A and B are shown apart, each in its own frame.
Chain A
Amino acid sequence: MRITANQDRCVGAGQCVLVDPEAFDQNDADGTVIVLRPNPGTEPEIARAREAVNVCPGRTLALVEES
Chain B
Amino acid sequence: MATPTISLDRTDPYRPPTEHVRLQEDAPISWVQLADGRQMWVLTQHEDVRAMLADRRFSSDRRDPRHPSHQPYMGPDHRPGLIEMDAPDHTRVRRSVVGEFTVQKLAAWRPRIQEIVDASIDDMLAGPAETDLVQALSLPVPSAVIAELLGVPYADHDFFQDNSAEFVRAGATAEERGAAVGRLKAYIAELVQEKTKSPGEDLLSRQILAGTDPEEVVSLGFLLLIAGHETTANMISLSVATLLDRREHLAELRDNPERTVGAVEELLRYFTIAEIGAARLAIEDVEIGGVQIRAGEAVLGLTNTANRDPLVFPEPDELDFTRMARNHLAFGFGPHQCLGQNLARLELEIVLATLLRRIPTLRLAVPFTEIPFKEKGPNYGVYELKVAW
Chain A residues engaging chain B, CB cutoff 8 angstroms: 11-15, 17-19, 21, 25-32, 51, 54-55, 57-59
> CB distance A17 to B103 under 8 Å?
yes
Is the CB–CB distance between A11 and B98 below 8 Å?
yes
Binds A, one of B60-68, B195-203, B300-308, B335-343: B335-343
Centre residue among A13, A26, A55 by max chain B CB count within 10 A: A13
From A14, A32, A58, contact of B334 by CB (8 A): A58
Given contacts A14-B342, A18-B342, contact A57 B98 (CB under 8 A): no
Cβ contact within 8 Å between B99 and A13: no
Chain A residues within an 8 Å CB radius of B376: none
CA distance A28 to B327 in the complex (A): 25
**Among residues 10 to 33 in chain B, which have CB atoms less than 8 Å away from a CB atom of chain A?**
none
Q: A14-B103, A27-B99 are in contact. Are A57 and B54 (CB under 8 A)?
A: yes
Kindly provide the distance from the CB of A21 to the nearest chain B CB, expressed in whole angstroms.
7
B interface residues, Cβ below 8 angstroms from A? 53-54, 91, 94-96, 98-99, 101-105, 326-327, 332-338, 341-342
B326 x A12 contact (CB < 8 A): no
* Of B99, B104, B105, B326, the contact of A15 (CB 8 Å cutoff): B326
Query: Of the candidates A11, A21, A30, which one forms a contact with B337 in the assembled complex, judged by CB atoms under 8 Å apart?
Result: A11
Asked if A51 contacts B326 (CB within 8 A), the reply is: yes
Q: A15-B326, A57-B334 are in contact. List 13 more A-B contacts (CB 8 A).
A: A14-B103, A19-B326, A26-B99, A26-B102, A27-B99, A27-B102, A28-B104, A30-B96, A31-B98, A55-B327, A57-B53, A58-B335, A59-B54
Instruction: Report A2 CB to chain B, min CB distance, Å.
Output: 22
Q: Given A15-B326, A57-B337, A59-B54, are A26 and B95 also a contact pair (CB < 8 Å)?
A: no
A23 and B159 CA atoms in complex are apart in Å by 43
Partner of B99, one of A12, A51, A59: A12
Is the beta-carbon distance between A54 and B327 smaller than 8 angstroms?
Answer: yes
- What separation, in Å, do the CA atoms of A17 and B106 have in the docked complex? 12
Bound: A11/B56 CA distance, A: 13
From residue B109, how far is it (CB to closest CB) to chain A in Å? 14
Known: A11-B337, A13-B337. A18 touches B102 (CB 8 A): no
Distance (Å) between the CB of B81 and the closest chain A CB? 16
Q: Would you call the interface of chain A mostly helix, strand, loop, or mixed?
A: loop
The answer on a CB contact under 8 Å between B337 and A25 is no
A12 interface neighbour in B102, B327, B333, B334, Cβ under 8 Å: B102
Tell me, rounded to whole Å, the shortest Cβ–Cβ distance linking B59 to chain A.
Answer: 16
Cβ contact within 8 Å between B104 and A26? yes
Name 18 A/B residue pairs within 8 A (Cβ), A-sorted: A12-B95, A12-B99, A12-B101, A14-B342, A17-B104, A18-B326, A21-B103, A26-B102, A26-B104, A27-B102, A30-B95, A31-B95, A31-B102, A55-B327, A57-B53, A57-B335, A57-B337, A58-B54
Query: Chain B residues near A11 (CB, 8 Å)?
Result: 91, 94, 98, 334-337
Residues of B within 8 A of A58 (CB): 54, 334-335
Contact status A13-B341, CB under 8 Å: yes
Interface pair A18/B98, CB less than 8 Å apart: no
Q: How far is the CB of A60 from chain B (nearest CB, A)?
A: 10
B296 to A: closest C-beta gap in Å: 24
B98 lies within 8 A of A12 (CB): yes
8 tightest A-B CB contacts, nearest first: A12-B98, A31-B98, A57-B337, A30-B95, A26-B102, A17-B103, A14-B103, A31-B99
Are B327 and A14 closer than 8 Å at their CB atoms?
A: no
Q: Which residue of A12, A17, A29, A55 contacts B94 across the interface (Cβ within 8 Å)?
A: A12
Q: Are A29 and B326 in contact (CB under 8 A)?
A: no
CB distance from B201 to the nearest CB of A (A): 15
Give the chain A neighbours of B102 by CB distance below 8 A.
Answer: 12, 14, 17, 26-28, 31
Picked from A13, A25, A30, A59, the residue with its CB within 8 Å of the CB of B104 is A25
CB < 8 Å neighbour of A28 from B99, B326, B342: B99
State in angstroms the CA–CA spacing of A58 and B335 once bound together: 6
> In whole Å, how far is B313's beta carbon from the nearest beta carbon of chain A?
14
